[in-house]
């Protein structure tokens, strides 16, 4: 046992040393992210609450971007799987909690129901994603966006109409996560801190899983499809089957976010599946930068915290959508790589400033700064679209 | 529901209501289809423009002159100008980009958010209703069903717009420029067509039609900030069923959705949402280019 522990500690130490040695590597970012997750957990209740919601939106957006940023398909119906996750949990919680309690005992029942409900939500999304994905990926671009929108709204109208008496119509289903008694200690699953730990763990594991997928041969094929479906097909890739698989994987991770939002907001309503909910990951991804893995996370952070910042000024609070509309347009027109691209650009620029300083001291550095800012402003003024470089970014 | 009993339930009144709902949707869908057919832009903000038309007409009627007919014209022209401004400022810079379809969709979605909030800022969140013009504010009765004469007027107006637009595109010089540019942009540009200016003009025309739809439909519906969101999805369904870029397709699709909205809720509530979306899915799967042909057909 002790050798294993040593190994783990050693390995963490190695990752840390490597990270510092190599500069701003992915590992270093990941370590900082994990540290941030821990730091938030000791913060005030409201900040924990806000951060939990941000994490759920971030997972929603990252899973959506697997399809949009990596495979080049804009889905306007992903709220369907978000809603499926939420309703899976809600229905299991309402109808089967007592049955589960008989099997595992009342102390553990709420936790077991949450797990079973989560699995049910993901399974429901899988059941939907297989046929919907199969039919949708036959179409491209605008047509793909439109058919996913139509499927999403069909699901929404099913939730609203409630033909089988399962969904409780427009009122939705109340989701009450109970108290767990485990080995003498008691805690409430819905307690803000506990729910934050659950969310942080699930979201971190999910995003790591997506990261692994993106950096696997599967992810490489996705990128090949985005760049040119014809060339990918010429290489022997079955384009529609691969798109179908990506659709299913994306839907599964979105449904995990849906399960989490139902527990978070204590209710599952048809609104979770409405097309305007599908717009949330689109906005977050575009603002953050679709061509970076972390772009949707940055975008979700901006989306969520700008909204919170605005809400502190009552005069502006009612009109927060206005800011997002303007932000969206400015980003699409001027920052093709989103906020994450902007950050990367600033990073490269700072390195160039450093290089100039190394070459010729402070004077060279200031000259470089003045020159590059002038250039940037000039190109923004003339708005020449011909020079648009699409250099992606390092984390693609 | 026994199928034999269904037909007596559908009266002439339901058909007139369905057609009038279809007519207002036709005016928005035909503009959307025109813009897509010529520019290749799926304008998400089109519903917002329709809503602006309703609000502009409302303001002119209640605050400025009180003349309903003038309000319709002023509202439609003002919306056309807003649309042209959107095109020049945000859509024109995107034409040169490769694969700009999704960028354009997202930019116009940004305008949905902006217009929604701007309307709430200027007019507030409360619903308004526009009074019907006195000349048409009487009840007609056909076959035992009753409806206001205004609904019949809206149907006739939409049919006139349909015919006028068809003649305009088929028979005028400008119409042939539009058709030529929609089928081959490079060739039109080489032959001396000022493509960017033509695009702005088409965007103006499409927005004008959306504004006209909003202004005409103002007395038939309650006007609130969510009006745009509701109609844009209907318009998407219509242009998909009829075929993106097809004018006659927009007409048939609009009448279909209008009839669904007036008749289906009598049998099952959410069916009016589900049935049009089901039709949209089926058309996309079987005939993605829609049931009708391209521009001018």
pLDDT greater at residue A31 or residue B166: B166
Of A145, A161, A275, the CB nearest to B233: A275
Cα of B273 to nearest chain A Cα, Å: 6
Look at residue A217 in the predicted model and tell me its pLDDT. 86
Partners of B148 in the β-ladder: B139
Q: Are the Cβ atoms of B93 and A333 closer than 8 angstroms?
A: yes
Nearest CA in chain A to B265: A161
Residues of chain A neighbouring B240 (CB-CB closer than 8 A): 146, 150
pLDDT band at B74; cut points 50, 70, 90: confident
Q: Give B80-135 as a DSSP string.
A: HHHHHHHIIIIIGGGTTSTT-HHHHHHHHHHHHHHHHHHHHHHH-SS-B-PPPPGG
CA distance B55 to B215: 8
Residues of chain B neighbouring A329 (CB-CB closer than 8 A): 90, 107, 110-111, 114
Q: Are the Cβ atoms of A161 and B274 closer than 8 angstroms?
A: yes
Question: Any chain A CB within 8 A of the CB of B282?
Answer: no
Over its length of 396 residues, how does chain A's per-residue pLDDT go in tens digits? Answer: 444 455 655 665 665 555 455 555 667 677 777 877 777 777 787 888 888 889 999 999 999 999 988 888 889 889 999 999 999 999 988 888 878 877 877 777 788 888 888 999 999 999 999 999 999 988 877 889 889 999 999 999 888 887 777 887 778 888 878 777 777 777 777 778 888 888 988 999 999 999 989 888 888 888 888 888 888 888 888 888 888 999 999 999 999 999 999 988 888 888 888 888 888 898 888 888 888 888 898 889 888 888 888 777 776 666 777 888 888 888 888 777 777 777 777 777 777 777 777 777 777 778 777 777 777 676 655 544 443 344 333 333
In A200-288, which ranges are E strands?
267-268
| Structure confidence by residue, pLDDT tens digits, B19-54 | 888 888 888 888 888 888 888 888 888 989 999 988
The ipTM, to two decimals, is 0.83
Token pair 């893995």 is found at A293
Of A72, A145, A325, the CB nearest to B111: A325
Residues of chain A neighbouring B287 (CB-CB closer than 8 A): none
Q: Write the CB contacts of A98 (distance below 8 Å, at least 6 apart in sequence).
A: none
Residues of chain B neighbouring A279 (CB-CB closer than 8 A): 109
Mutation target among B242, B276, B277 for the A interface, most CBs of A within 10 A: B277
Contact (CB, 8 A) for A63 and A257 = yes
Residues of chain B neighbouring A147 (CB-CB closer than 8 A): 280-281, 284-285
Q: Are the Cβ atoms of A322 and B118 closer than 8 angstroms?
A: yes
How many CB atoms within 10 Å of residue B171? 9
Contact (CB, 8 A) for B110 and A328 = yes
Q: Number of CB pairs < 8 Å for A and B?
A: 117
Provide the total of helices (H) and of strands (E) in chain B, helices listed first.
12, 2
Q: Are the Cβ atoms of A328 and B288 closer than 8 angstroms?
A: no
């Amino acid at each position: 046992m002790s050798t294993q522990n040593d190994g783990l500690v050693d390995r963490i130490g190695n990752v840390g040393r490597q990270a510092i040695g190599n500069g701003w590597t992915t590992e270093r970012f990941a370590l900082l992210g994990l540290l941030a997750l821990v730091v938030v957990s000791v913060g005030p209740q409201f900040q924990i609450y806000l951060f939990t919601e941000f994490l759920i939106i971030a997972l929603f957006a990252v899973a959506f971007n697997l399809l949009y940023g990596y495979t080049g398909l804009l889905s306007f119906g992903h709220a369907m799987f978000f809603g499926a996750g939420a309703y899976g949990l809600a229905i299991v919680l309402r109808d089967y909690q007592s049955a589960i309690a008989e099997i595992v005992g009342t102390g553990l029942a709420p936790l077991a129901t949450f797990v079973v409900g989560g699995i049910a939500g993901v399974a429901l999304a899988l059941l939907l994603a297989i046929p919907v994905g199969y039919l949708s990926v036959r179409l491209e671009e605008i047509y793909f966006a439109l058919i996913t929108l139509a499927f999403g709204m069909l699901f929404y109208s099913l939730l609203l109409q409630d033909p089988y008496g399962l969904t409780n119509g427009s009122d939705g289903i109340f989701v009450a996560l109970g108290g767990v008694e485990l080995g003498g200690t008691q805690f409430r699953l819905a307690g803000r801190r506990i729910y934050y730990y659950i969310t942080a763990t699930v979201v971190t594991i999910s995003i790591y899983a997506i990261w692994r997928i993106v950096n696997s041969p599967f992810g490489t094929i996705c990128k090949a499809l985005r760049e040119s479906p014809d060339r990918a097909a010429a290489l022997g890739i079955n384009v529609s089957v691969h798109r179908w698989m990506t659709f299913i994987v994306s839907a599964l991770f979105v449904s995990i976010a849906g399960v989490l939002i139902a527990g978070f907001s204590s209710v599952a309503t048809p609104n979770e599946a409405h097309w305007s909910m599908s717009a949330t990951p689109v906005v977050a991804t575009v603002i953050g930068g679709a061509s970076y893995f972390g772009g949707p996370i940055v975008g979700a952070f901006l989306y969520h915290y700008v909204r919170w910042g605005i809400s502190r000024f009552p005069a502006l609070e009612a009109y927060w959508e206005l800011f997002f509309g303007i932000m969206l347009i400015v980003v699409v027109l001027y920052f093709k790589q989103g906020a994450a691209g902007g950050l990367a650009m600033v990073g490269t620029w700072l390195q160039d400033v450093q290089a100039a300083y190394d070459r010729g001291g402070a004077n060279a550095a200031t000259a470089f700064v003045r020159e590059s800012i002038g250039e940037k402003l000039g190109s923004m003024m003339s708005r020449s679209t011909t020079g648009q470089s699409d250099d992606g970014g390092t984390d693609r | 529901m026994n199928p034999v009993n269904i037909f007596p339930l559908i009266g002439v009144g339901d058909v007139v209501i369905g057609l009038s709902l279809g007519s207002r949707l036709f005016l928005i869908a035909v503009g959307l289809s025109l813009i897509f057919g010529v520019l290749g832009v799926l304008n998400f903000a089109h519903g917002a423009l329709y809503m602006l038309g309703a609000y502009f007409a409302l303001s002119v009627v209640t605050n400025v002159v009180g003349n309903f007919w003038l309000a319709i014209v002023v509202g439609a022209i003002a919306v056309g100008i807003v649309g042209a401004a959107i095109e020049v400022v945000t859509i024109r810079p995107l034409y040169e980009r490769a694969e700009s379809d999704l960028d354009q969709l997202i930019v116009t979605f940004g305008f949905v958010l902006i217009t929604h909030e701007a309307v709430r800022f200027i007019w507030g969140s409360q619903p308004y209703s526009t009074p019907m013009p006195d000349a048409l504010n009487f009840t007609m009765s056909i076959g035992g069903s009753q409806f206001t004469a205004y609904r019949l007027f809206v149907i006739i107006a939409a049919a006139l717009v349909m015919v006028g637009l068809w003649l305009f595109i088929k028979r005028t010089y400008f119409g042939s420029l539009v058709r030529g540019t929609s089928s081959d942009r490079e060739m039109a540009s080489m032959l001396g067509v000022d493509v960017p200016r033509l695009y702005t003009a088409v965007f103006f025309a499409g927005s004008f039609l959306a504004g006209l739809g909003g202004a005409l439909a103002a007395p038939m519906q309650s006007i609130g900030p969510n009006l745009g969101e509701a109609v844009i999805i209907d318009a998407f369904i219509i242009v998909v069923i009829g075929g993106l870029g097809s004018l006659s397709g927009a007409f048939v699709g609009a009448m279909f959705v209008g009839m669904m909205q007036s008749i289906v809720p009598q049998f099952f509530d959410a069916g009016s949402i589900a049935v049009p979306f089901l039709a949209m899915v089926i058309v996309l799967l079987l005939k993605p280019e829609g049931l009708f042909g391209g521009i001018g057909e």
